[in-house]
Every structure is written in structure tokens, then in C-alpha cells.
Amino acid sequence: MLTYKQALDKVFDQISLLPKLEEQVNLLDSVGRVLAEDVISDVNLPPFDNSSMDGYVIKYNPDIRAWNVIGELSAGNYQEFEVDYNKTVSIMTGAKLPKGADTVIPVENCIISGNKITVSENYALKRGKNARLLGEDIKNNSVAISRGTLIKSSNISLAAACGKSFLSVFAKLKIGVFATGDELVSIDTVPVNDQIRSSNLSTLTAMVNEMNMEPVVFGFIKDKLELIESKISQALSTDIDILITSGGVSVGKFDFMQEALINMGADILFWKVNIKPGKPFLFSTFKIGSKIIPIFSLPGNPLSCFVNFQLFVKQALLMHYGIKSTNHFTAKLKSSAQKGDNKLHFTMAESSFDIEHGYFEVDSAGSQSSGSMSTMSKSDCMYLFPEELTMLSKGDWVECIRI
């Protein structure tokens, strides 16, 4: 059976063939999208030498510690002053430095008397202190934000300062989703007898949205070979880039997904991965001319379905766009854990930050039954329980993936 790494490599081989089309979006709609252009600055940042403190601006001379105040400058209200040794201008944060000046003494280090100031005895003067120089953050015409950056609110300031009210980002991939199961009813129905609400369809749609991709929902169908075949055919006849299915990939008598895919002409790349939950994951592709549609067939158990999406769909797409920060972190385990197999376990868990010691701690969020939606709902991460181990002790360091 494939290891997680082997399976992910096979998935990525196919995902990396997907097109990377580009589109323009408003700056404020770009958060969560992947930048498809290098953002080039059309100005120097800062655009002029300016003060980083409220204080007095001087022309540095190590031997001078007293000055005459000849005026005042605040941000956006520049006036010409000629600052020479012995002269100073009162200056506010962000104000452009006057001609000749290079250094700012913070107001709290000055002794003011009328229109004269002296610097406090213990203050060490240094040329250039508290002055921010033209272009020291970003030079005009240079790359401010690189193509392939996952845009966060922390990028917006720089993009805006570079005059970008629109950004080119990679277009959303269209991801089709459908579920299978005789037991399924829609979530706005009250289930009776052995029915259950098709929660996976909502989860999958939510995860696609969360990745800033476009979900195309094809609903759910019964466990009938012909129905599954015609649903696959319906989905593949649209312009989707990826297809995700839920249910019917185990070894039950009514698990028809693999057979249906084969009948429809899909190439099965692998079935089953040495992980828990989500072992029965089935991965195939469908060729239409030169287009290849990767098909992720996930188990119906809600936790398996969720974890498979995180491990394969999300991970492979992040790799496709070259996004390095994949939400991996290490944490100290809060309670011991055991397992009796050689699978790689992804334990749904809750993390917390220990401020006193400066590290993350993590604990299982409850029952790891693959049907446990309450555990899933409480979790903010998964921790990895490696193949070769059967025991983890309290205090062990474990790898975690934020979800």
C-alpha cells in the first residue's frame, strides 16, 4: 500500500498539469487568492526621507548638543527650512526631513527652553538615527510582492502603497462535487429510519470555498452503478477542472465508485493509502482531448472525507501554486496515545499556545471514530502519529497540520 508521501506525489503529478489561468481582482477581493504577477513598485517607499519620531531634526555633528529652533514640520505640511549646525526644526513622525538635516532627536530626550533646545546628557547622538530614508523599504521599480504569494491582509498595505487597486491572481479552479449513498437525504430534510443527512456535500463545498476555488455541486445519488456512471458523465461534460466524489470506495457490496469510474474510462492511479482515517481513498484521472481531470474519490465517513480533502486536495493545490507556508507546526503532546497498526494516523486535535514556555501544545479532540463529526467540529488541527510508532507519551513533540 502507498504511504501518504507516495500517494501525495502521485496526486501532485496530476495536479501540476492543471492550467494556471489569470484574472484581475479588486485589491480588497484578493485576500486568500494567489498572486499571479510580480507587484512592481511605482514609487520609492518611503517616497522621501522622513522622521520616525516626534522630536527635533538636526544636521549631525558629534560636538554640538544645543540648537536654535527655527520652525516646525508635520506630516503632509512640508515647508523649506535650511538646517545647518546649531539650527533645528521641531518635527513630527512622518514629516519630510528639511534640507541639510539627517538625524532626529526624540522630544523626550530634549530639554526645551524658549526657542532653544539641548539634548539630555545621557543621550547618545548618532548620525541618521530616527530618520527613515527614501527607498529604504522598497526601491522604485523593484519587485515588492512576488508572484505565487498567497495574499493575506498583511500584503495589502504594500500593494496599496505601490498604487495597485487591482491585482492579477490565479483564476479559481472549478471543482465538481457529488455524493453517493442509498441512505442520504438533503440537509433540510428530517431523516427517518436509516437515513442520514448528506453532510459531506456541504463539507466538501465549504472546503472548496475556503480554498477560494469555485465549487460546482452535482448533488447526491443512490448506490446504483448506472446512476453513478451517469453522474460522473454529467460532471465530466461540464467545464470542471477537478472532480471530488464521496462514498462507495470501500469493499462493501454497494461500493460502486471504482467500477463506475473504470466503466466511464477513467485511469485508476491508486486505491488505498496507509493512513487513518481515509485509507480507502481512490485517485483517478479522466482525459478529454488534452485536458486531464483529476478525480478524488473519498470515503463517505465524514472524518475520512474531511481528512482526505485536507491531505490530498488542499495539499496538492498548495503545492501547485508554490505556497510554502502549509500550516505545519510542532507541538508538545498533552496526553499519551496508543495505536495497534502501522498506519500513519492523523489525529483530530485541539492546539493551544503556552505563552509561558513559548510553544504549542496539542491534545486529541475526542473520539477518532471516522464518523465523529463532533470531534471534527472541535478540532483546529491534526497531529501525526507516525507509522512505525505504537505509543506516544505525554510531552512528546509531534508534527501538526492546522485545518
Residue numbers 164-193 binding Mg ion by CB under 5 A? 181
**CA distance between the termini of the chain:** 26
Peptide bond between residue 47 and the one before it cis (omega within 30 degrees of 0): no
Interaction between residue 300 and ligand AMP (CB under 6 A) = yes
Q: Which three cell numbers stand for residue 156?
A: 495589502
Residue numbers 371-400 binding ligand AMP by CB under 6 A? 371
Burial classification of residue 62, based on how many CB atoms lie within 10 Å of its CB (0-12 exposed, 13-18 middle, 19 or more buried): exposed
Which CB sits closer to ligand AMP, 216 or 318? 216
By CB under 6 A, which span of 47-55, 245-253, 258-266, 355-363 interacts with ligand AMP?
245-253
Interaction between residue 252 and ligand AMP (CB under 6 A) = yes
Neighbours of 138 (CB within 10 A): 20
By CB under 6 A, which span of 91-99, 136-144, 293-301, 306-314 interacts with ligand AMP?
293-301
User: Closest distance between Mg ion and the C-beta of residue 293, in Å?
Assistant: 23
Which of 202, 151, 142, 162 shows the shortest CA–CA distance to 178?
A: 202
Which CB sits closer to ligand AMP, 139 or 272? 272
Pairing outcome for strands 50-51 and 131-132: antiparallel
Per partner kind, with CB cut-offs from 5 to 8 A, the member of ligand AMP, Mg ion, none near residue 202 is none
Interaction between residue 183 and ligand AMP (CB under 6 A) = yes
Residue numbers 195-234 binding ligand AMP by CB under 6 A? 196, 198-201
User: Closest distance between Mg ion and the C-beta of residue 223, in Å?
Assistant: 6
Interaction between residue 280 and Mg ion (CB under 5 A) = no
Which CB sits closer to Mg ion, 67 or 218? 218
Q: Is 6 helix (H, G, I), strand (E, B) or coil?
A: helix
Interaction between residue 250 and ligand AMP (CB under 6 A) = yes
Could you give the dihedral angle defined by the CA atoms of residues 148, 241, 319 and 171, in that order, rounded to the nearest 10 degrees? Answer: 10
Supply the angle between the helices 257-264 and 225-236 in degrees, to the nearest 10: 50
Which of 316, 250, 241 shows the shortest CA–CA distance to 278?
A: 250
Residue numbers 77-136 binding ligand AMP by CB under 6 A? none
Interaction between residue 163 and ligand AMP (CB under 6 A) = no
Residues binding ligand AMP: number (CB under 6 A): 20
Burial classification of residue 165, based on how many CB atoms lie within 10 Å of its CB (0-12 exposed, 13-18 middle, 19 or more buried): exposed
Binding residues (CB under 5 A) for Mg ion: these are: 181, 247-248, 300
Residues within the interface to ligand AMP (CB under 6 A):
179, 181, 183-184, 196, 198-201, 246-248, 250, 252, 255, 299-302, 371
